Amino acid sequence: MGEYNPFATDELWRCSYLQRPSGKASLFDDVPEIDLPTLDDSDLISQSPVYKLDLLDLTAQHEDSKVELDVLDGFPSSETTESLSHHSDEQDDIWALNLDSLGDSSRLSLYTWEIFEKKDVANTTRTAYLSEAGSEAFNAALMPSDDSAGVLPRDISLRALCSLALGRSSVFFQWDDIKQSFTQTLGGTPTAGFSVLASDSFTAELMTYAGLYRRLQAYSSSGSPRKNSSAVVLALKRSLAGVLEAIEGSIVACTQSVQTLLQLQYATRLPRQLLQLLDTMKAAVDGANSDEAAICVLADTIDAIVATNNDFAGVLGVMLTQVSRPWLTRLAGEVGLIEQSHLAFRAVEETAVSGDGMSTSVLSEMPVPLSSNSLFTAEDQILLCETRATVKLLRTHLPETARYDGHSLDPVYVSGLLLEAPEQQQQPVLLEQDVWTSHQAQQQFYGAIDNQMSSTPSVSQLGPPDPVHVVASKALTQQHDPMQHDHSDLDTVQKPFDLLRPSIEVQAQRVNGFLLRYLFRDCRLRHHLDIQRAFHCLGNGEFVSRLCTALFSEETQSAERRRGTLSNGKTMGLRLGVQEQRWPPASSELRLALADVLSEVYHSSRAVVKDGGSKGDLPGGLSFAIRELPEAEIDRVMDAGSIFALDFLRLQYAAPAPLDAILAPGTMQKYDEVFRFMLRMVRAVYVAARISNDGGHHQPPSVTTTTARFALEARHVTVMLMSYFVDVGIAAPWLYLQHSLDAVERALEAGHAMKVGISALRDMHEHFLDSARGRLFLKRKQQAIRTAIENVLIAMFRAVGIVQSETDSSHLALAYEAYSAAVVQLVHLLQAIADKPFRGHASSDFTDDDAQLAGMLLAKLNWNEFYDKRQQ
């Protein structure tokens, strides 16, 4: 017999050595001699298909039997073979037996199946095959030598294996803390009734299962709260503990009725599958560095498992809900659905969003999952980010409005969210120092203790059951009993944020209404926007006039400090363009020249006078300052006759909170870019308007004629450019912004649900700025148009310098010709952009909007096709 296969032998016909003590030398009893005729095919076809055949009396012992088996080799002897062949020749037809030749009919009798059992014959109850001899014979066959360790009794081995299925050590299986696995103390010793191969295979499978159970149990029990513990990981450990408890209960219930190893193997089949899923979830969150990343990768893992129609999808779904509960609770606190004082976990550090116009002190960065965006859609991210920022603003600036007293910003009902509510104390807690203050307090203290100790413990006092444990127990029970299996509540997995989205949507509309009213009414948002329009965009005529006087007028007193010269009280200015003026001015000169321009213009406006504004401070610290320039632009500023001479001058403004969420530093940088460009155009218009007065009366007629033509064209070009920039570039987008803000205020006054929040206001304002910058050709893709405009202004300033200093008509003619060529080049560029069909050409730097804008500027500059004719 083979070592591991009891049927791997070719001599099963031999008698087992276990039967030899009975005295029989052969495997079978003596076989009676039966004479049977040999049948031919023709005889079988010719005979009738049905004949009656009386069996011989097989119970009689035929002493003259000639059929014997050779015990030594197990084959019939030659004499026996010849005898059988002789008898076969004597009778040809077995179906044509002469029954009368059998003798007296009285010898015939009826026989039953009990007669064939031959119970009265010795050794007839012993089987001749090892596979039918029972476990005792099989166990004896496993011990061919005396040095064998034997086999383990089935009952003892079964008890040890049941303990192993629960992850517990026993005398046969010990847990190794270093290897983190179980080891077998009696390796190679099979269980009774099993071969070594079958026993080792089953034991190895169960040890692997028990090792996984033990490791997960150790992982789930190591979740002691620490300062830097992740709330999601701790929740995962609690959920794992609930599932492991359900598995333990299922195994304990099954082992009470287990009688064989096959039953134990079947009892651990489903728990093994569930343990493998738990191990997959544990491995998924091991590399996560934040709660959002852990939930994201966990949700992706569960979605992939559920997609395979796994039977434990419901368990995984409940686990995902429970694991996400701390994170959802934190989000609920951040958006104002619950009080943040109830949150018992570490808040995530907030970092600012760079370059998106959001204030670092107001809006925190939206946590984005590391793998796929399975937690939030793009709309969810916008909703959550805006609602969280809005609630934070209200808590910072309107704490009375955001209090949770059931009146103002009380939390709405959070449907479907399993939030951890703070524990409610049933009885008032008496501090130790208060117990002995009065006799009544002492009686109350002793009465509470007496009631607690005399009350009967009940399950309800232990708290609600763990949902994960309940669902896991139900899933394991129903899987063991297919007749009770119901997929209706076990195979659904809901994404974590789906539980919170409806409540956040309602909360967003409520807090948006509170914040927008605060921004429009209390913070005067539109007033601060008007300030940017008036000063940064040069929309206030009085400011432009006073600024031109302070910067360019020769009638003002120089702000440069000179030794021995006293101020006469006249208006001071920088006197840009005057030849004896030093350039660039010092910072003290700049402050003296522009000190009163902003203050006087701001306080002279009707809105400030009406509101009784103070004349001391300007909103946002509005003031002039010096811009930091790169090294390449400093040389251009040093030239007083250059169009870039005022690029160092900037307006400084810092919006107060919470308006800095809209007028953020990045937004103010765009305003500064607009102011820088518009200040160049103001100077160009100012200089072009005074060209005709710069020349003297003693110049030659040719020079006077050229100067007049140049002055006329320069005035036309600069005025048309300024008109386009003011009307089309700034006024049109500003009017659209005002209409949008009017619609928001009307909705607030009507009490409508506000889907528009602070992000929408920011987007409205950013759209105005982006549109204005595009119409002023300040974007990078519009570099060609902007360069062409700068070339026109540079050529104009060169010609103006020649008019002021030279009398040679040839120099002026060359300068005038260069100026005209620059204007023609600008006109042709605008014409090419306006005529080219850009729609459908994604490779082009210009769009249809650029073509429309180019056409509008072209209509102002070349309305009578003057420069087209001049080019010809």
pLDDT tens-place string over residues 735-747: 999 999 999 999 9
pLDDT tens per residue across span 822-852: 999 999 999 999 887 655 444 456 677 888 8
**Shared domain check, 862 and 719:** yes
What confidence tier does 451 reach under pLDDT thresholds 50, 70, 90? low
What confidence tier does 496 reach under pLDDT thresholds 50, 70, 90? confident
What confidence tier does 405 reach under pLDDT thresholds 50, 70, 90? very low
Of residues 94 and 59, the one with the higher pLDDT is 94
What pLDDT score was predicted for residue 685? 94
What pLDDT score was predicted for residue 570? 62
Of residues 814 and 558, the one with the higher pLDDT is 814
pLDDT at residue 458 tops 60: no
pLDDT tens per residue across span 774-809: 999 999 989 999 999 999 999 999 998 888 776 566
Residue 751 resides in a domain:
yes
pLDDT at residue 62 tops 50: no
What pLDDT score was predicted for residue 69? 40
| Among 79, 102, 125, residue at a domain's last position | 125
Which amino acid, one-letter code, is at 249?
G
Of residues 305 and 129, the one with the higher pLDDT is 305
What pLDDT score was predicted for residue 801? 85
With both helix axes pointing from N to C terminus, report the angle between 378-397 and 501-517 in degrees, rounded to the nearest 10: 50
**Shared domain check, 625 and 551:** yes
Q: Is the dihedral of CA 3, 9, 12, 16 positive or negative?
A: negative
What confidence tier does 406 reach under pLDDT thresholds 50, 70, 90? very low
What pLDDT score was predicted for residue 107? 56
**Shared domain check, 826 and 769:** yes
Nearest to 624 by CA among 525, 570, 550: 550
pLDDT at residue 574 tops 90: no
Tell me the CA distances in angstroms from 181 to 164, 187, 241, 453, 556, one per residue in order: 11, 15, 19, 44, 93
Q: Is 209 left (phi over 0), alpha (psi -120 to 50) or beta?
A: alpha
Q: What is the mean pLDDT of residues 807-827?
A: 85
What pLDDT score was predicted for residue 372? 44
What pLDDT score was predicted for residue 233? 87
pLDDT at residue 182 tops 80: yes
Which of 49-63, 116-130, 464-478, 784-798 has the least mean pLDDT? 49-63
What pLDDT score was predicted for residue 469? 87
Which of 507-516, 618-627, 687-696, 856-865 has the least mean pLDDT? 687-696
How far is Cα 752 from Cα 239, in angstroms, rounded to an integer? Answer: 43
Look up the domain containing 36 and give its range: 20-125
**Shared domain check, 734 and 854:** yes
**Shared domain check, 743 and 698:** yes
Of residues 1 and 148, the one with the higher pLDDT is 148
Residue labelled with tokens 């089935």: 154
How does the average pLDDT of the chain come out, rounded?
75
pLDDT tens per residue across span 594-632: 878 888 899 887 544 444 445 567 899 999 988 888 888
How far is Cα 679 from Cα 690, in angstroms, rounded to an integer? Answer: 17
Residue labelled with tokens 């269980």: 191
What confidence tier does 446 reach under pLDDT thresholds 50, 70, 90? low
How many domains does the structure of the chain reveal? 3
What confidence tier does 677 reach under pLDDT thresholds 50, 70, 90? very high
pLDDT tens per residue across span 408-425: 444 444 544 444 443 334
Find which of 9-13, 544-548, 579-583 is predicted with most confidence, using mean pLDDT. Answer: 544-548
**Shared domain check, 715 and 849:** yes
Tell me the CA distances in angstroms from 586 to 549, 573, 575, one per residue in order: 18, 12, 13
**Shared domain check, 692 and 555:** no
Residue labelled with tokens 């969280």: 388
With both helix axes pointing from N to C terminus, report the angle between 313-334 and 291-306 in degrees, rounded to the nearest 10: 150
How far is Cα 246 from Cα 270, in angstroms, rounded to an integer? Answer: 12
| Among 105, 125, 145, residue at a domain's last position | 125
Of residues 696 and 119, the one with the higher pLDDT is 119
CA 153 and chain centroid, separation? 55
Residue 57 resides in a domain:
yes
| Residue 370, C-beta contacts closer than 8 angstroms, at least 6 positions apart | 288, 289, 290, 292, 293, 296, 297
Nearest to 337 by CA among 409, 247, 260, 265: 409
Q: Is 68 helix (H, G, I), strand (E, B) or coil?
A: coil
CA 271 and chain centroid, separation? 30
838 and 846 in contact (C-beta within 8 Å)? yes
Residue 598 resides in a domain:
yes
How far is Cα 454 from Cα 31, in angstroms, rounded to an integer? Answer: 85
Q: What is the mean pLDDT of residues 56-77?
A: 44
Of residues 809 and 813, the one with the higher pLDDT is 813
**Shared domain check, 869 and 732:** yes
What pLDDT score was predicted for residue 672? 94
β pairing state of 557-558 and 572-573: parallel
How far is Cα 855 from Cα 861, in angstroms, rounded to an integer? Answer: 10
**DSSP per residue, 723-769:** HIIIIIIIIHHHHHHHHHHHHHHHHHHHT------HHHHHHHHHHHH
How far is Cα 674 from Cα 187, in angstroms, rounded to an integer? Answer: 85
68 and 80 in contact (C-beta within 8 Å)? yes
549 and 596 in contact (C-beta within 8 Å)? no
Find which of 218-222, 565-569, 642-646 is predicted with most confidence, using mean pLDDT. Answer: 642-646
| Residue 601, C-beta contacts closer than 8 angstroms, at least 6 positions apart | 534, 535, 540, 542, 543, 546
Which amino acid, one-letter code, is at 636?
R
Residue 10 resides in a domain:
no
What pLDDT score was predicted for residue 766? 95
**Shared domain check, 633 and 539:** yes
What pLDDT score was predicted for residue 430? 42
328 and 499 in contact (C-beta within 8 Å)? yes
| Residue 168, C-beta contacts closer than 8 angstroms, at least 6 positions apart | none
Of residues 343 and 190, the one with the higher pLDDT is 190
How far is Cα 663 from Cα 524, in angstroms, rounded to an integer? Answer: 13
**Shared domain check, 609 and 707:** no
| Among 633, 654, 675, residue at a domain's last position | 654
Helix spans in 518-594 (H): 525-531, 541-552, 587-594
pLDDT tens per residue across span 242-301: 999 999 998 988 888 888 888 898 999 999 999 999 999 899 888 788 888 888 888 888
Nearest to 745 by CA among 519, 550, 574: 519
pLDDT tens per residue across span 749-766: 988 888 888 888 999 999
What pLDDT score was predicted for residue 51? 41
CA 777 and chain centroid, separation? 39
Residue 229 resides in a domain:
no
pLDDT tens per residue across span 346-359: 333 333 333 333 44
Find which of 10-14, 22-26, 122-126 is predicted with most confidence, using mean pLDDT. Answer: 122-126
Q: Which two tokens stand for residue 838?
A: 């850009």
Q: What is the mean pLDDT of residues 426-438?
A: 47
Nearest to 546 by CA among 566, 574, 569: 574
| Residue 277, C-beta contacts closer than 8 angstroms, at least 6 positions apart | 305, 310, 312, 316
402 and 391 in contact (C-beta within 8 Å)? yes
195 and 142 in contact (C-beta within 8 Å)? yes
Which amino acid, one-letter code, is at 828?
H
Task: Let me know if 290 is exposed, middle or buried by CB neighbors in 10 A (0-12, 13-18, 19+).
Answer: middle
**Shared domain check, 737 and 615:** no
pLDDT at residue 501 tops 80: yes
Residue 592 resides in a domain:
yes
**Which residues is 649 bridged to in the sheet?**
626
Residue 725 resides in a domain:
yes
Task: Let me know if 300 is exposed, middle or buried by CB neighbors in 10 A (0-12, 13-18, 19+).
Answer: middle
Residue 258 resides in a domain:
no
265 and 202 in contact (C-beta within 8 Å)? yes
What confidence tier does 702 reach under pLDDT thresholds 50, 70, 90? low
pLDDT at residue 427 tops 60: no
32 and 62 in contact (C-beta within 8 Å)? yes
Of residues 840 and 149, the one with the higher pLDDT is 149
**Shared domain check, 650 and 688:** no
Q: Which two tokens stand for residue 1?
A: 């017999």
What confidence tier does 37 reach under pLDDT thresholds 50, 70, 90? low
Q: What is the mean pLDDT of residues 188-211?
A: 86
Q: What is the mean pLDDT of residues 84-104?
A: 54
pLDDT at residue 304 tops 60: yes
Instruction: Please report which helix (H) or strand (E) contains residue 868, including its range.
Output: helix 866-871
Q: Which two tokens stand for residue 599?
A: 């203050």
What confidence tier does 149 reach under pLDDT thresholds 50, 70, 90? low
Of residues 488 and 540, the one with the higher pLDDT is 540
Which of 166-175, 320-329, 492-501, 507-516 has the least mean pLDDT? 492-501
Q: Which two tokens stand for residue 175?
A: 């847990």
